[in-house]
Amino acid sequence: VQLQASGGGLVQAGGSLRLSCTASGRTFSSDIMGWFRQAPGKEREFVAAIGWWGGNTWYADSVSGRFIISRDNAKNTLYLQMNILKPEDTAVYYCGVSRRAPTVVDANRDALYDFWGQGTQVTVSS
């Protein structure tokens, strides 16, 4: 089982990036998936989560209205569209799969995640 995150990079404040996370080895079409991030010197924090069918989503207050999480189960891929990026969004972004979170609201806890990607760096310059 492997999760491969990509799409990170360097962008100016106000710009956009789209992260992708492709799963291989098994399908996660029935699992909740999410994005977390970790800035230097800080703990990993929740960004967004999405239910198995894509209709339910949940966002951290810090990104709500700017980021959009989505998934394509046919491609076994999770996405994070990040708009109006701010310097404080700078972090390594991780995708994960939770088989234990009962709802997307509960999926804001990284302890409930079973699989993680390797992370992709996002740097936002001011």
Block means of pLDDT (10 residues each) for the chain, length 126 residues? 94 98 88 96 97 92 98 94 98 96 94 96 97
pLDDT value at residue 18 = 98
Q: Are 53 and 33 in contact (CB under 8 A)?
A: no
- CB within 8 Å of 55: residues ≥ 6 apart: none
